[in-house]
Structure formats: structure tokens, C-alpha cells
Amino acid sequence: MQRITRRQFLAISARLAAALTFIRWFRIQPARVVAASDLPHVCVAEGSDEDTPAQILETALKGLGGIERFVKPGQVVAIKPNATWAYPPRTASSTDPEFLTAVIQAVKDAGAGRIIVMDHCSIEPGADEALRISGIGRVVKDAGVEAIFPDRFNAPKSVYTKIDLPYGRANQKIGVIKAAAEADVRINLAVAKTHNVTKFTMCLKHMMGFLQQPGLLHANLEQGIADLSTPSAIQAQLHILEAIRVRIPYGNYRVCAGPETDITHPHVVTRRNTIVAGVDPVLIDAYGCMHFFNIQPQELTHLLRAYESGCGEIDVETALTDGRVRVFKVGASLPAESESVSTSEGETPESPAPQPTAVYAPGPEVSIPLAPSTGSEAECRPAETIIAPSPLLKTALIPVAAIISGLGLAILNRMRRKLPPAQAQDDEKTIAGSASQTE
Amino acid sequence: MMKKQLPVLLRRQNSNMTKRQTSRQGYFDRLARRLVQVGFLFLFLFPLLPFIYRQIASQPTPDYASWLLPWDPLLALGNLLKGNSSALILGAPLLLLSLSLVLGRSFCGWVCPLGTVMDLIRPLAFWQGKKLARVKHSSGQRNSRFRYWLLVLVLTGSLLSIKALGWFDPLIIFSRAATAVMVNLLASPQTLERGGLTYFSLLFLAILGLEFWRPRFWCRHICPQGALLSLVTRFSLLNRHVSTACSGCEMCKRVCPMNAISKDAHNTDYTDCTFCLECEAACPEDGIRFGFGALALAKWQPAATSASASKIERRQGNYTAANGMPAQGLTRRQFLQGAVAAAAGLALMPLTRLEQRRIPLRPPGALPEAQFLDICIACQECIRVCPTHGLQASFLQSGLSGLGMPVLVPRLGGCSLGISCTHLCQQVCPVDAILPVNPKDFRIGTAKVEHSLCLAWDQGVKCLVCVEACQYHAAIPHQGRVVVDAGKCVGCGFCESGCPVPGSAIHVVRDDSSTI
């Protein structure tokens, strides 16, 4: 047998080390924003109450160039809905279950290899309850996709990993869900709603759900949020802002979203039947600011920080005119019918952007009450647990089997032992006999 | 002479044959015993499995209460003396005691998880070579009666406080050590500050260390649980019979890890014998049998005792009923002395609370502090099942008498008083130191903001993590700052666990109303 010399060993080690370094380097390579000039950056699909979330989503994705632009067959796709709160879909607190189903179906149709749905749920009342009430647990279960909803206190270390934020200003390293960092494509499904710290939660803020300890970001929240959308291992390739329902009032959001909320009140939750999809989270959020909340994008500090960090464009007006943001009406004229998205200049802004006003003024479609068909809270209301009863109890049968077999073996041995004593008795007799003989 | 020696020679040949046979059977016996022991060990470790499973599969799983402590007769007796008969409702400790009447101390040799750990680690003492397999106790010396003294002390003490019982009960020692190892090794990333739990398995480590010095030292000399069983097992129906084939080689005596065999090798001390079957396999004459009968009350009577009798004659004899009772643990005088000493020692116990500066946060449903200190046995079951790992074993922060008892450290994890927690801590407590109260009626304390540290107060940062974490609308944003509504705050501590300031800028402080 040939033995390697020390020199050879060192050489092989060095090469292995170099190779491993390169592998590591490749893995950390940030995924850049897809910036194909001929396709829009952001696509807005506006529907009516009759349109299902799936139809609105289809329009938005088609305008963007189809889901195939982002998801290639065989890829690992991480989908991050908003599953934080244990409130039903009508309160616009969490991602709409029907909408999530549509997204998962679209990604499936694109031929994704693995689909992982992930989010962090609030501490109280815990992940199970949040998933049950928001209806997301049911969706994930029915779709048969992988799910990661880590318990903040019991999640194993292996769920998380530390990634670099090479362009981060507030944080350069941050702990995130490992599966998200390792996925090929991340899809960020944000809900347009109010928030008590950042005023509004949209795509940028929603990225915080990937974090291991979101609380640590709060020391410098606005810049921290902006950092998450800089090129890094956690950067999302596709952002979809769900504005099917929009939660309006600013303040303590728990009061706004809790069961005490009068959900039919148009000033609390309004129906907009809009989905904004795109690759530029700043542009999406800026559009959302102007169209859903009627404020200037610059008023949101974290949006401004993200713009300054180079995460995207903030000027919606310009983007609307040069075709980077396009607005489609559901069912009106799908971009797929016009065949060439790149030359469809005529389709761009169908509805001119309304001038943002300082005072909130509900539009005509805002006051339409909720259609009962889309509210899927009826399905998720029954207390159906999505977590199987402990699969561990059967494991206890192994030691029980060991005990029974051990006892059996011991008893068997006792029975086999019965043989020699007769021999011994004979022995004793002979001994006794011989002893008496000697006497 | 020739005629006398011939059968002996023959028998030696015979014995060589049987020895080969028995060595194989001895192997199977040992295998059987190991199977049973390891089986029970894993059965008792099973309640820790959800913890490991969660770490590996990251799937939520329900926790289990201990399967071991409900069987503990010593603990049940201590509870009974303290006036708590709930442990006897299941009747498991009584069942164990009545089983001991039939099977002797088989529990110690075949079931006790601490004994199993001892038996498993004993072969690791490689520097001892094969010496350790042989007991080194000097011949004729019996096991000390210290364990009976300890039993008296522990049980007398239970009248005042069953804490001492918690320290010396082997089953509690085992479950505490298992919890310490599991929780420390598999700590979640949120709770890096833990580590105090290891201190409380020091006794466990000491017991393991003793094992490398003398086999089953703990079981023979110290174990109060064994002493309690011994009171019953001296009438054991299962017994060890030595036939007249015995040549007096004392091999059985040397292999007995419990030092249960008398000098003449025929008599067995059933307060010690764990029926490990080692002597049966070791006997070169194959003269030892285990069976059922009233042999525990009998004594071996040699037929010939005179020195002039021949060797073979001296082997003859039979078991005859002994006069009176078999050897007792302690005399009445000794028992009373022990009881008085224990009472005197316990009278000094309040001194151990002197250094307790402030009362720590206790789990929801905990008894008032004075009662809690008396009743909690520091078995750490509640610490094991706490889903947020906010419950930790206290080291000295609640005084010497509170060593190892559960304290809530909100920085590591809050106490979920809502529906996300099953409040298993209240259900697993074997001594009812934590009562199953409705957590909604319970207050742990009140959160207090340290303005000099708080990002919102000190730096004007829009942090408000505590507001987000608060489930009771008690932390309220007020002009960009945080204020706590003491009327709403229950002290769950989620604000403290989430605070981004190192060491937290909001703390839960126990107040006077922190009771049920």
C-alpha cells in the first residue's frame, strides 16, 4: 500500500482548504436584484370584489413576466407569509389564506423543487394558535409544503444561521432562518397594514420575520430594516405586497386588529383588491404609501433609509411614466395577450397615480363592505390542530421491549438451571457415601 | 485417603464442566439484567425525549411528566408525613413496596436508574483492572447502618420540611441530574446565560466517583431509599439457596457487589441482596440457586462445627428456622437518637434562610415563599418542562435553603400565563409546591423600566419592543416613551426577555401581591 508523505498530506490539505474557502465564497455571493431592463420592476394588479386573490395575483405576475422569471424548475423556494398574529384574515393582520394558496400553487406550477413556508409567530398565544386562527396552518398542510414556524424559545440552534450583510450600515452580521438563507429564491409576501413603531408595515419591514432575534434590530430600527434588503444571502428575489384588505388606523395595532375590531368599519379595514408584485421593495412600499395610506414615501424613515442604502427607487411618479411600475386591471387586458411585455408602452399607467393628500379620504371602492366569500375564517375557525399528537410515545415501546426480553431471558435461564442441581445432588450422595465409607 | 479424594477429583472434573456451562449462563444472566436495567433507564429518561426531539426535528411536541417519581415510596412517605397524600392515590409506591416483599431489593439491582448508571460506568475504571469487579470490603464487615440513620433523619425531617429528602432520594437525584445534563447540553440559543443547573448534579457526580472506589458504595451505605426498602425486604420471599456442594471458596462473597453474603457463604442478608445473580454464575460448584420460599427467616445450621470434622463434613447442614426476627436495621434506641438528632438539626434550618436578601420570582401557582421553601424538594421537574426555559434552578439567589429550587428568570424566557403554555409545571410537581391555579388569577410581579438604560427613555429611539411583547396592554407607549400600567401588568416577563438592551432595561420585580 502506498503511503502518502508529509509533503503530499500538506499539499492535499491546502487544496482542500482552498476548495472549501471557494465553496463558502460562492455560497455567500449575494443574490443581486434582477434588473432586466425590458421587464417592469413593479407590477400592480387592481381587481374588484368579484376577483379572487388568485386572479389578481395571476395578473400581477403576468405583468411582471411570469413567476418563471424568478422560479426555475428544481429550485428551493422560501415563501414568507405574514403569520405572526392569531387574528382571522378579515382583520388584515396576516397573509390571506387564499392568496397564500395561490402563491404556493404558482410556485409549484413553475416546477420548484422544494417549497418552504416560514415565519415567526408571536409569543402569545404561540405558533399553533396563530396558524390555526389565521388559517395559514391549514393552507400549508393542504398544500403539502414544508413549513418552518420556529418557537422562539425552543427552536434548536440548527434552525438559524448567521449571515453577512456586506452592505449593512446598522448590522454587518445577523442571525436568520437557515432554510431562508440557503434557499435559491425567497418570496416575501407582505401585508399592507399599520404598525405602531414604523407607522406602516410593507415589504421592507416584513423582511424582519426572517430574523432570529428581531428585537435586537430595534436599537436602530429604520436602518436595520433597510439593511435587510441590501444584497445579501437573505435578500428576497420577489416581493409581493398584498393589499386585498388594508388596515388603516395608526396607533396600537393590537387594538386595531384584535377581536374587538369592528372589521366591517371602512376606516379600520378596507378592501382594495390590489396586489403589488415586484423586485424593488422600496418602489413597492413607496407605491403603497401613496395609494393605500396617502402619505409621501419620504415620510417613512425606514423607507428613506432603504432608498439611501441603495435598495431601490423611491420616486413612484417617474417609475410610473418610464414603465418600471405598471398598473393593470384584472381581466381588462392581460399583458400575456399582448405577447411582448417589453414593447407594451401603451399599457402603462392606465390609472394615473392619485395625488397624495395629507388628509385621509376614502375612495369610492373603500367603503365596500367585506364580501363573505373571500373571508375564509369560517374554514379555520374549528379547533383543528395542525400538529400531530406526539409521535414519540411509540418510542417508549423500545425500552419496554428490552425489559420484557430481559426478564424473559432471565426466567429462561432459571429454567435451564434446573438441570445441574440433580447432578449436584448425586454428587452430594456420592460424597456422603464416600465420607461414610472412609469412616 | 485415595478413596476420599477420588470423588473430589471426579467432582472437580465435573465442576470444570459445569463452570464452562455456567459461565455461558452467567453471560446470559448478565445480558438479561442489563437489558432490563437499560430498558428501565431509557423508560425513565423518556420524558426527556421531547426535548431532544424538538432540537432535532424542530417540531412542537408535548412534554411528559416524570414516570419515575410517582413510584417513589420514600417520596410518598415524606409527602404523607407532611400531610400530602396525593402521591398515594395512584398507589404505585405501595405496589413497589409490596413487590419488594416478594422480590426483595430487586428494584435496586434491576430497575433503579441510579444503580443502572453505576453498573454501566463501573467497567470504565480501567486503572482498577479487574479488581473492581471484586468487592474489596474486608471480610466479615457488614454494611454500615448509616443509611438507616439517614432514613430516620429524612423522614423525621419531612415533618418540618421534606427538602432533605429531595437531596438524598436516589430517584430524585437521578431525575435532577438527567434534567441538568439535558437542559445544559441542548440549551436553545436564546438562553446562553444558563449553566447554573450543573451545580445541582454535584451529588450525582460524587456518587459516580464513589463507584470507582467501591462498587455500589452509595447503595450499601448511604441510600435512604434502599434503607426503606430494606425494612420490607428482610422478609423477602425470593431467596438465595446454597446447596451442600459449597466448598467454602468464598467466590460468591467476592463477586457480590452488595456485600450481602455472610462469611459462611450460606446465609444471605436480604436487606442488601439485589438479586443480581453474579454469585450464581461465579460459583465454581454451581451450588447456588435462586427461588421462592421462607428462607429469609431461616439460618444455615452446619451439621458439624467441630474443628476435627473433615472438610466435607463441614459442608453438611441445612436451613432451619431462626429464632425471632431477622437482623434489624436500627434498634429502638438508635432510632430515637436519630430522630432527636434530626429534629435538632432541622430546628437550625431557618438559619439557612438568613442570607436570602430578596424573594425571587417563583413559577405561577407557587405556594407562599415560606411554605414553598419547606415543601419544594428541588427535583427540578418544573424546570425541565418549562417551554420558555424561563424557570431556572437557583444557586444562592434565594438563600442556601432555596438551593436548586425553581426561580423565574424572565431574561431567559417569560412565563406564559396565556394559552400558549400548558402550565405543565403545576402538574408535574410531585409535592404540590406549585398548585394548579388558574394562571389568570396569578401575578408574578410588576415590570419596572430603568429609564437610564431604556433606548426609548434615554436615547429617544423608537424601540418599543416591550410594547410589542406585552400581551396585557400594560406596557404603553406614551409620547415615544414606555410606561407600565401596574394595574394591568402581571409580571409575565416577556418584555424583559425581548429587550434589546444588554441585561435588559425592563425588569420584573416581585411585589407584595405576588401570590395566588
A5 contacts: CB under 8 Å, gap ≥ 6 = none
Three-state secondary structure readout of B23-81 = HHHHHHHHHHHHHHHHHHHHHHHHHHHHHHHHHHHCCCCCCCCCCCHHHCHHHHHHHHH
Chain-chain contact of A406 with B36 (C-beta, under 8 angstroms)? yes
In a mutagenesis test of the A interface, which of B8, B12, B15, B35 is the best target, namely the one with the most A β-carbons within 10 Å? Answer: B35
Minimal Cα–Cα distance from A174 to chain B, Å? 14
pLDDT band of residue B186 (cuts 50, 70, 90) is low
Q: Are B230 and B105 in contact (CB under 8 A)?
A: yes
With CA atoms as reference, report the closest residue to B101 among B323, B296, B321, B280. B296
Which chain A residues touch B33 with a CB distance below 8 Å? 406, 410
Minimal Cα–Cα distance from B302 to chain A, Å? 15
With CA atoms as reference, report the closest residue to A285 among A203, A187, A353. A203
Could you tell me if B392 lies within 8 Å of chain A, comparing CB atoms?
no
CATH T-level fold of B443-509:
Alpha-Beta Plaits (3.30.70)
The Cα B407–Cα B387 span in angstroms is: 14
What pLDDT was estimated at residue B196? 53
What pLDDT was estimated at residue A216? 76
pLDDT band of residue A426 (cuts 50, 70, 90) is very low
Report percent pLDDT > 70 for chain A.
72
More confident residue, B375 or A438: B375
Task: Identify the closest residue of chain A to B62 by CA–CA distance.
Answer: A390
Q: Are B139 and B259 in contact (CB under 8 A)?
A: no
Name the least confident of A21-30, A202-211, B56-65, B108-117. A21-30
Burial class (CB in 10 A: 0-12, 13-18, 19+), B351: exposed
Q: Are B46 and B63 in contact (CB under 8 A)?
A: no
Q: Are A370 and A264 in contact (CB under 8 A)?
A: yes
Minimal Cβ distance to A399: which of B31, B42, B455: B42
pLDDT band of residue B200 (cuts 50, 70, 90) is low
Chain-chain contact of A438 with B3 (C-beta, under 8 angstroms)? yes
Minimal Cβ distance to B54: which of A156, A216, A417: A156
> Residue A174 is placed in which grid cell?
445577523
Tell whether ipTM is more than 0.85: no
Could you tell me if B27 lies within 8 Å of chain A, comparing CB atoms?
no
Three-state secondary structure readout of B287-298 = CEEEEECCHHHE
Minimal Cα–Cα distance from B426 to chain A, Å? 19
Which chain A residues touch B190 with a CB distance below 8 Å? 152-153, 213
Q: Is the pLDDT of residue B110 over 50?
A: yes
Minimal Cβ distance to B420: which of A129, A216, A424: A129
Q: What's the start-to-end Cα distance of chain A, in Å?
A: 75
Within a 10 A sphere around the Cβ of A258, how many other Cβ atoms? 15
Query: What's the whole-number mean pLDDT along residues A410-432?
Result: 59
Within a 10 A sphere around the Cβ of A66, how many other Cβ atoms? 17
pLDDT digits (tens, 9 = 90+) for A307-325: 888 888 888 888 888 888 8
Burial class (CB in 10 A: 0-12, 13-18, 19+), B427: middle
Chain-chain contact of A424 with B285 (C-beta, under 8 angstroms)? yes
Write down the pTM of the prediction.
Answer: 0.72
More confident residue, A299 or B188: A299
pLDDT digits (tens, 9 = 90+) for A100-143: 999 999 999 999 999 999 998 877 677 888 888 888 989 998 99
Q: Are A316 and A290 in contact (CB under 8 A)?
A: yes
What pLDDT was estimated at residue B349? 67
Query: What's the whole-number mean pLDDT along residues B283-305?
Result: 80
What pLDDT was estimated at residue B140? 56
Domain limits, chain B: 235-321, 443-509
More confident residue, B347 or A34: B347
> Which residue is associated with the grid cell 420592476?
A41
pLDDT digits (tens, 9 = 90+) for B485-503: 888 888 888 889 888 888 8
Q: Are B296 and B255 in contact (CB under 8 A)?
A: no
Could you tell me if B141 lies within 8 Å of chain A, comparing CB atoms?
no
pLDDT digits (tens, 9 = 90+) for B405-422: 888 888 888 888 777 777
Report percent pLDDT > 90 for chain B.
9
Q: Is the pLDDT of residue A72 over 60?
A: yes
What pLDDT was estimated at residue A386? 38
Could you tell me if B410 lies within 8 Å of chain A, comparing CB atoms?
no
Q: What's the start-to-end Cα distance of chain B, in Å?
A: 87
Which chain A residues touch B21 with a CB distance below 8 Å? 420
pLDDT band of residue A277 (cuts 50, 70, 90) is very high
Task: Identify the closest residue of chain A to B458 by CA–CA distance.
Answer: A219
What pLDDT was estimated at residue A373? 35
Minimal Cα–Cα distance from B349 to chain A, Å? 37
pLDDT digits (tens, 9 = 90+) for B78-88: 888 887 777 66
What pLDDT was estimated at residue B107? 93
Report percent pLDDT > 70 for chain B.
82
What CATH class does B235-321 carry?
A: alpha beta
Q: Is the pLDDT of residue A78 over 90?
A: yes
A117 contacts: CB under 8 Å, gap ≥ 6 = A78, A79, A80, A81, A100, A104, A136, A140, A145, A146, A147, A148
Minimal Cβ distance to A219: which of B31, B60, B455: B455
Q: Is the pLDDT of residue B282 over 90?
A: no
pLDDT band of residue A377 (cuts 50, 70, 90) is very low
Minimal Cα–Cα distance from A247 to chain B, Å? 17
What pLDDT was estimated at residue A282? 92
Could you tell me if B419 lies within 8 Å of chain A, comparing CB atoms?
yes
Query: What's the whole-number mean pLDDT along residues B457-471?
Result: 81
Q: Is the pLDDT of residue B358 over 80?
A: no
More confident residue, A350 or B268: B268
Burial class (CB in 10 A: 0-12, 13-18, 19+), A233: buried
Q: Which residues 409-428 of A have a C-beta within 8 angstroms of B? A: 409-410, 412-414, 416-417, 420-421, 423-425, 427-428
What pLDDT was estimated at residue B334? 78
pLDDT digits (tens, 9 = 90+) for B308-340: 666 667 677 778 776 655 555 677 787 788 788
Angle value at C-alpha A132, between A130 and A133, nearest 5 degrees: 70
Q: Which residues 195-224 of A have a C-beta within 8 angstroms of B? A: 196-198, 212-213, 215-221
Q: Which residues 80-139 of B have a C-beta within 8 angstroms of A? A: none
Q: Is the pLDDT of residue A384 over 50?
A: no
Instruction: Determine the distance from the C-alpha atom of residue B489 to the mean position of all C-alpha atoms in its chain, rounded to a whole number.
Output: 38
Task: Identify the closest residue of chain B to A251 by CA–CA distance.
Answer: B477
Q: Is the pLDDT of residue A399 over 60?
A: yes
The Cα B89–Cα B432 span in angstroms is: 14
DSSP notation for B261-281: B-TTSS-B-TTT-----HHHH
Q: Are B384 and B352 in contact (CB under 8 A)?
A: no
Task: Identify the closest residue of chain B to A424 by CA–CA distance.
Answer: B245
